[in-house]
Amino acid sequence: MTQTAVQPTARDERVTRKSPLQKLLGRPEVGALVGAIVLFVFFASVSQTFIQPNAFATVLYGSSTIGIMAVGVSLLMIGGEFDLSTGVAVISSALTASMFSWYFSMNVWVGVLLALVVSLAIGFINGWILMKTKLPSFIVTLATFLMLTGLNLGLTRLIGGGVSSPSISSMDGYQSARAVFSSSVKIGGVDVNNTVFIWIAMVAVASWVLLRTRVGNWIFAVGGDANAARAVGVPVKATKIGLFMAVGFCAWVLGMHNLFAFDAVQSGEGVGNEFLYIIAAVIGGCLLTGGYGSAVGGAIGAFIFGMANKGIVYAQWNPDWFKFFLGLMLLLATIVNLIVKRRAELK
């Protein structure tokens, strides 16, 4: 092949205008969206029940309990960090609220607010230790994960005398708190759990912050290259600590749902869920290395997980193979995601 000189009239490719379709295909979550559509069509074709509105509401509820956390975890991953303590932090929050209100016979709302403070504090401590020590977040949050697991069990046994928190369903403020964190709304004759709306609202807020505010730019900057970000005046420390606290906030929301949906919380719950949140964010197009991704992507990732999780049940497949199917589907969804993204980048 002969080398041809670059046309002098060619414009710099960085400033060429992209067509709206190209723009859409360049978004981080588009691969996940295609994966979600494929999965939806697949389950709709193998199961009659799957597409019924009430079944779909169940899928959305299952997705929302992953998705609420995935919002915070996605932002954190865009900011270049991990949090392995999220699964148990949810339970820590729920236990704080229930044990505190129960032990002091207080209005449940006092416990709920205290749990918010504790959850934010856990996030703050994670971020603060990370920034002080410069250790990888993997190590720091692994330590927090283990400590919280121990605290959940130890404190629950010490205060409540059992391994699950006592039921708080007859206490003052329970009904109103339940209405906020775990109730259902009738839409077209179908009960939709309000976590679905909380989830959507949180995704909307997170997307707005990421795409329309200065803080959003900071998050992308610290995840892309923390040193470069610091050099141009981005408050790296505050941004990262803030991100961990945002994760803490999500843990609080989900923890309160867990508490008010089931009245009592078992102290050993939550272990292993941290990976589901990370998986949701990764499927949704967040890079494990940071600097790239979106909140909507994490939501779609959670939705894919919810569809796979519930779809297998609706399809009436042999449950022995459940985990295998789940893993396979996650793998396929991520591969579709990858292919679509590569295609989009080539154009």
Partner 1 sequence: MTKFSWRKAAVMAAVIPLMALSACSSTGGRQPEAGSGGGGQVASTPRMKVALITHAAPGDTFWDILRKGAEEAAAKDNVELLYTSDPEGGRQAQLIQQAVDQKVDGIAVTLAKPDALRDALKKATDAGIPIVSLNSGADVWRGIGAFTHFGSDENLAGAAVGEKLNSLGVKRPICVIMEQGNVALDSRCAGVKSKIPTTENLFVQGTDMTQVSSTVTAKLQATPEADAIIGLGAPFTLTINKAVESLNLQDKVKVASFDMNGELAQAIIDGKVAFTVDQQPWLQGYGSVDALWQAKRAGIHVGGGLPVLTGPSIIDKSAAPDVLKFAQEGVR
Query: Counting contacts by CB under 8 A, is residue 334 touching partner 1?
Result: no
Which is nearer to partner 1, 173 or 224 (by Cβ)? Answer: 173
- Of 36-44, 52-60, 134-142, 200-208, which part binds partner 1 (CB under 8 A)? 52-60
Q: How far apart are CA 113 and CA 200, in angstroms?
A: 22
Alpha-carbon gap, residue 275 to 325, rounded angstroms: 17
Q: Which of residues 175-214 bind partner 1 (CB under 8 A)?
A: 184, 191
Tell me whether residue 74 or residue 156 sits nearer to partner 1 (CB atom): 156
Residue 222 half-sphere exposure, CB side, CA atoms within 13 Å?
Answer: 25
Q: Which of 38, 42, 44, 109 binds partner 1 (CB under 8 A)?
A: 109
**Half-sphere exposure (CA, 13 Å, Cβ side) for 80?**
21
Give the tokens for residue 152. 């959940």
> Which residue in the set 142, 143, 147, 153 belongs to the binding site for partner 1 (CB under 8 A)?
153
- Cβ–Cβ < 8 Å for 286, 297: yes
The three-state secondary structure class of 47 is coil
Structure tokens at 42: 């697949």
Task: State the nearest-atom distance from the C-beta of 136 to partner 1, in Å.
Answer: 26
**DSSP-H helix ranges across 213-272:** 214-224, 226-231, 236-262
Least separation in angstroms between CB 240 and partner 1:
13
283 binds partner 1 (CB under 8 A): no
Minimum CB–partner distance for residue 271 and partner 1 (Å): 5
Which value, in Å, is the radius of gyration of the alpha carbons in the chain? Answer: 22
Within 254-273, the residues that bind partner 1 by CB under 8 A are 254, 257-258, 261-273
Tokens of 332: 């396929």
Q: Considering the complex, state which of residue 172 and residue 225 has its C-beta at the smaller distance from partner 1.
A: 172
266: its two tokens: 């078992």
Interface residue list for partner 1 (CB under 8 A): 47, 49, 52, 54-55, 58-59, 61-62, 65, 101-110, 149, 152-153, 156-157, 161-164, 166-174, 184, 191, 235, 238, 254, 257-258, 261-273, 306, 309-310, 313-314, 316, 319, 322-323
